[in-house]
Structure 1
């Protein structure tokens, strides 16, 4: 979508806002009705059709942020992902999925596709050649995630976009970890962009939502599936999400900066074995990430040395919260093995390189000195507990 060269923070703040024509308020008014007139109106509005005033306004903002022609807002990230996938797949079709994926997406593929007669393949890596090797005559979708959850692997957006077009396949990406502040896959030829808006778009750990952005042609097809699945979002939450997105650029840039500093600190720590962050020059995808991302994101993962018990480390943190989700303004950590990838078997986690000791770290906006101090005191306590009496 043409954003008229508006800056990212201007787009976040103003694009798609509703005008308060009655009282001239500075923010979009909230329309809570679930029932609208059907006679003598230009649009027959209904929440499940994604066209209430607040839904329409927010979708314009989301489309502008992802440089798309259209967007839809859903009740959760998985509602967006499942709807998007099923819009382009039917019995007899095949999909190629990236090896490193969010656990919920992986679980959807392995538990649901076969019920619908859809076959699938996971790549052995995340290079373009890995995807091409899995393409079959009946392949209809290529699905990627970059940076990936939780190991922050990087996939070539332009390469995948070209590959999909070469074979007449729809390309889809989960862009949650990057957010539209750091990465716009449509600019590189990707067809459909998905988000868990619960994360960076919401940003305050109090909203559950999902997003799909695409061309109008693709969105028309997605819409026909979406109205059947019924994954629409309440207008109050839509209004809250529009409010939250206004500060997304400021928040994400602060989180980018903290993550870069934290990755460098953890890499230098004798108590840390491995750090996974595309902003580090030692990351195998660093050069590619630098070429297609505007910022490296607020997410990283790391592994403590084997003598430091990760579960005890969680218990002794005072500022950083062990918590299930990510991307809030508060820093959080979790164990993918126990949470985001718990639905995967130990064998499948091992294939993806997800160790039981892996810690996923979502950087917030706190001062770096406070975060480092909290990590050091927690590690110190765990080590002191392990010392012989």
Structure 2
């Protein structure tokens, strides 16, 4: 059966499985070896060359999920992002980066690129015209992130991809917030799709990994940098990730539903100034999100200006105030002290990240329990504020 015609749950469960030829087990066997024969073999295998049995099997699954020809799996999302960027950039080149983006990617750009003689510029916004304005004769890469972290801005994927193609520029996207369940950028013309697999692919807050998917031609270019930088993933983690992805479609759809209900609840809350979620009709790019997403995702953010956020976090009983996102458990963070702490206050302000912004990753719990947790925490903080 053509993998493009298989359902999402079928792809997640079966694509790229390794056959247990010895014992006929139903799950992929785990090959822990880091040393393989080099004589009389078709493939000389070595973990840093991304071609061990478990690595190859997982990459087939990842490529199928992103409608790509090939994939590579890395030790973290930033390993995937930095390796992909350095694969297509060299001294004298220029990259255009979206203004609203993950703080770790921003930090990599502003602290590392100039060391290698690579110039960069950030867009003023996230419309296609904003990217076009920043293109120079030496621009080699356009980098976007949609929905963005943490404000869930939506970028026109097809528009930016076409702009890049017209100019002979490689287009890249961080697709982490959407996951392959909600969005497939290659279908819209993007060249290279990146993920922190730590998030929705792992889904249980116990795996750290990154993914690059693309055409075989582009993956071959990334591979040449990858074998030098050495960001490969351990075999056991590869096996765990392959196992976790089997339930990704089910998990993400449940998280989509929870996020939509939570966004509607928060949008009506007296203490909430603004909710950032592309599923809301009030979101400025709701129609664009509808046109390029299969679901609006499990992530949202909201402004809580009149409640002490540090106290709010402390009084939560169910929702966990921890770093990272996309696990089966609901979590919250303050971007100014975590994901975007390395940005200057001025740059955060430019992106619209306020000190009282809360990023909310919806898990799979019952929505009524999550709402009750928020209500009781706000009530306690308000009571403490009055008594003080």
TM-score (norm 2): 0.99
Match of 2:314 in 1: 315
Q: Does the Cα contact within 8 Å between 1:2 and 1:67 map onto a contact in 2?
A: no
Q: Tell me which residue corresponds to 1:347.
A: 346
Equivalent residue, structure 1, for 2:115? 115
Structure-to-structure mapping, 1:374-389, within 5 angstroms: 374-388=373-387
The 5 Å alignment of 1:272-311 reads 272-304=272-304, 306-311=305-310
Looking at structure 1, the residues matched to 4 and 105 of structure 2 have their Cα atoms a distance apart, in angstroms, of 35
**Residue correspondence of structure 1 range 101-180 to structure 2 within 5 A:** 101-180=101-180
C-alpha displacement of 1:36: 0.1
- 8 Å CA contact 1:2–1:64 kept in 2: the answer is no
Superposed displacement of residue 4, structure 1: 4.2
The alpha-carbon distance between structure 1 residues 211 and 164, as it changes in their structure 2 partners (threshold 3 A), is same
Aligned residue number for residue 191 of structure 1: 191
Which residue is 1:62 aligned to? 62
Displacement after TM superposition at 1:307 (Å): 2.4
SS at match of 1:322: coil
Residues 4 and 165 of structure 1: CA distance in aligned 2, closer, same or farther (over 3 Å): closer
* Mapped contact 2:93–2:140 kept (Cα < 8 A): yes
Shift of 1:388: 4.4
> Structure 1: how far apart are the matches of 2:239 and 2:361?
25
SS for the counterpart of 2:5 is: coil
CA distance in 2, matches of 1:2, 1:57: 17
Counterpart contact for 1:99–1:124, Cα < 8 Å: yes
Q: Distance in 2 between matches of 1:348 and 1:357?
A: 16
Offset at residue 3 of structure 1 (A): 1.5
For the residues of structure 2 that align with 1:253 and 1:280, how far apart are their CA atoms? 17
Task: Say whether 1:14 aligns with 2:14.
Answer: yes
Shift of 1:334: 0.3
Cα RMSD of the aligned pairs, angstroms, is 0.9
Deviations 1:78-99 (A, max 9, x none): 0000000000000000000000
* Residue-by-residue CA offset, 1:43-67 (whole Å, 9 max, x unaligned): 0000000000000000000000000
Secondary structure at 2:202 match in 1: coil
8 Å CA contact 2:4, 2:64 repeated in 1: no
Please state whether the residue corresponding to 2:371 is helix, strand or coil. helix
1:92 aligns with 2:92: yes
SS in 2 for 1:337: helix
Residues in 1 aligned to 2:3 and 2:288: alpha-carbon distance in whole angstroms: 26
After the TM superposition, which parts of structure 1 deviate over 6 Å for at least 4 consecutive aligned residues? none
Question: Taking structure 1 as the reference length, what is the TM-score of the superposition?
Answer: 0.99
Q: Is the aligned partner of 1:372 residue 2:375?
A: no
CA distances 1:201-232 after superposition (whole Å, capped 9, x unpaired): 00000000000000011011000000000000
Deviation digits for residues 311-362 of structure 1 (CA, Å, limit 9, x no counterpart): 1100000000001010000000000000000110111100100001100000
Q: Which runs of 5+ in 1 are unaligned?
A: none
Report if aligned partners of 1:204, 1:328 keep a CA contact under 8 Å in 2.
yes
Query: Matched residues in 1 for 2:381 and 2:122: separation?
Result: 38
Q: C-alpha separation between the residues in 2 aligned to 1:75 and 1:307?
A: 40
SS in 2 for 1:333: strand
Deviations along 1:255-280, one digit per CA (max 9) or x if unpaired, are 00000000000001101111000000
SS in structure 2 at match of 1:383: helix
The answer on whether the counterparts of 2:9 and 2:249 sit within 8 Å (CA) in structure 1 is yes
Per-residue deviation, residues 346-385 of structure 1 (Å, max 9, x unmatched): 1110010000110000000000010000000000000011
Q: Secondary structure at the match of 2:158?
A: helix
